[in-house]
Amino acid sequence: MPNKVRVRYAPSPTGQLHIGNARSALFNYLFARHFGGDFIVRIEDTDVLRNVPGGEESQLSNLKWLGLDWDESPDKGGSYGPYRQLERLDLYKEYAEKLLEMGYAYKEYRENSNKYAIRFKVPGDVELTFKDLVRGELKFHSKDVEDWIMVKDNGIPTYNFAVVIDDHLMKITHVLRGEEHITNTPKQILVYRAFGWKVPEFGHMTIIVNEQKKKLSKRDKNVIQFIREYQDMGYLPEAMFNFISLLGWSPTTNEEILTQEQIIDQFDPARLSKAPAMFDKDKLAYINSKYIKMLSVEELAAKCRPYLEKAGIHIPTDDWLNLLVGILQDRMSYIGEIVNLHNAFFHDQFVLKEEAFQFLIDNASLSVLETFRNHLWLSDFTPEAIEPLIKQTGLDTQTKGKPLFMSLRIATTGDNHGPSLPISLALLGKDRVIKRLDQTISQLRGEL
């Protein structure tokens, strides 16, 4: 690639950052960083009625959260600004006038008015061919393209005109975008040709589909589609970056958990898929859980704290929080899940399942539970203090292995399996453990 690579992401400030737009931004970013080029963010704000307050800030803040940085933008400046289309109207007017003068465009007056739109004059018999970075050679014929409006009668340019002027003046070398733009490409190539400008290389990424293989729609309520929602739920930005990079691109290895540096290093447009990319919710949960497991208990506890506090859950001490997070870390697929996991662990409705209760009967667990309960009156309630009491209970009742540990676990947590028993009991607290033991003992006595 002889020229310095320059790519851009050009969102409209019309709402939150959607997963599809995030992927477009991410792939352009990866392309630029892999080839040592520039990544530009440009705001296409000419559809004034659809712009929303804070739309631009939302786009930029969500991209930053994902881990993207850029070389030029409205908030950063640069040598090729301004980077908002509404601040570039004089440029579009200048180039529209040139096309009128050269005979590549004409005025179309509104009836009974001196206001006019400007249409591009499509040549009659021209074949338009370009090599798509993803799909290979694509051909269009000019007879299939109608004369199209370049500038509306209010002076605002349309997308297909403004994007060419911006991309040329900003020296964009490669345009990576969604496949819905394929039919726009011949119109844009005609504008490049009219001015005698070099045409950038185009690459059109395939659509993203849901698990039913249908195109991801903003009306699809089964898939969370906005980056902000993932941020609010407690997905990790590194995991989202990793997952989105795999939506239509495959790494050179079979590994799926990759750092940003590894993805940049391996990124190659030749490995962009020609098949639709499926948004696999289970895969996202798996990837995010892997990143959660990489955190230290202290790091994860700090991230969990705001979710627990917002849910009104009392955190007695930092040590208690670290214990809680430590035993639930392997079960979490996103940080906000700590609330549900906490509530399931500390549920007040303590009901033993029939199968678990039968285990207690079959293993004559009553003496184990009674002995352990009696020991608890003499103890403080840390994991270090509880562990020898379990051992002592085993010695006193001549019980070990499953009949000892599973009996105590079932009688106090309701589960057959789980994390460290001393830690689980310490987290539940002495009052709750004794209450559950008493309830289970009473049930067993009633069965005997």
Q: Assess if residue 403 is contained within a domain.
A: yes
**Cα(36)–Cα(42) distance, integer angstroms:** 19
218 is catalytic: yes
Q: What is the pLDDT of residues 63-89, one digit of tens each?
A: 999 999 999 999 999 999 999 999 999
The 3-class secondary structure across 80-109, one letter per residue, is: CCCCEHHHHHHHHHHHHHHHHHHCCEEEEE
**Parent domain of 160:** 6-206
Give the burial class of 208: count Cβ atoms within 10 A of its Cβ; 0-12 exposed, 13-18 middle, 19 or more buried: buried
Q: What is the pLDDT of residues 155-201, one digit of tens each?
A: 999 999 999 999 999 999 999 999 999 999 999 999 999 999 999 99
User: Do both 253 and 148 map to the same domain?
Assistant: no
Closest to 120 (Cα-Cα) out of 143, 151, 144: 151
**Cα(113)–Cα(336) distance, integer angstroms:** 59
pLDDT band with cut points at 50, 70 and 90 for residue 401: very high
- Looking at residue 221, its pLDDT comes to 82
- Looking at residue 101, its pLDDT comes to 98
| Torsion angle defined by CA atoms of residues 72, 77, 80 and 83, in that order, rounded to the nearest 10 degrees | 80
Amino acid identity of residue 180, one-letter, is: E
User: Do both 100 and 179 map to the same domain?
Assistant: yes
Q: Is 1 a residue whose pLDDT tops 60? A: no
Q: Assess if residue 346 is contained within a domain.
A: no
Q: Assess if residue 104 is contained within a domain.
A: yes
Domain count for the chain, please give it. 4
The β-bridge relationship of strands 201-205 and 127-132 is unpaired
Amino acid identity of residue 331, one-letter, is: R
Looking at the chain, the whole-number percentage of residues with pLDDT higher than 70 is 99
CA distance to 95, 401, 425, 426, per residue, from 323 (Å): 66, 24, 11, 9
The average pLDDT across 320-344 equals 95
Mean pLDDT of the chain: 94
* Number of H-type helices and E-type strands within the chain: 18, 11
Q: What is the pLDDT of residues 232-287, one digit of tens each?
A: 999 999 999 999 999 999 999 989 999 999 999 999 999 999 999 999 999 999 99
pLDDT band with cut points at 50, 70 and 90 for residue 383: very high
Q: Which two tokens stand for residue 293?
A: 């497991």
- Looking at residue 220, its pLDDT comes to 82
- Looking at residue 283, its pLDDT comes to 97
User: Do both 243 and 279 map to the same domain?
Assistant: yes
Are 407 and 365 in contact, with CB atoms under 8 Å apart? yes
pLDDT band with cut points at 50, 70 and 90 for residue 2: low
Query: CATH no. for residue 360?
Result: 1.10.10.350
Query: CATH no. for residue 196?
Result: 3.40.50.620
**Cα(334)–Cα(251) distance, integer angstroms:** 24
**Cα(52)–Cα(56) distance, integer angstroms:** 8
Phi, psi of 10 (to 5 degrees): -130, 80
Are 58 and 16 in contact, with CB atoms under 8 Å apart? yes
User: Do both 394 and 325 map to the same domain?
Assistant: no
Q: Assess if residue 347 is contained within a domain.
A: no
- Looking at residue 104, its pLDDT comes to 98
Q: Is 448 a residue whose pLDDT tops 70? A: no
CA distance to 242, 273, 275, 276, per residue, from 207 (Å): 18, 10, 8, 5
Q: Assess if residue 220 is contained within a domain.
A: no
Q: Assess if residue 167 is contained within a domain.
A: yes
The average pLDDT across 425-440 equals 93
- Looking at residue 344, its pLDDT comes to 86
User: Do both 30 and 116 map to the same domain?
Assistant: yes
- Looking at residue 21, its pLDDT comes to 95
More confident residue, 344 or 162: 162
pTM beyond cutoff 0.85: yes
The average pLDDT across 370-393 equals 91
Q: Which of 98, 107, 214, 218 is the catalytic position?
A: 218
pLDDT band with cut points at 50, 70 and 90 for residue 417: confident
- Looking at residue 87, its pLDDT comes to 97
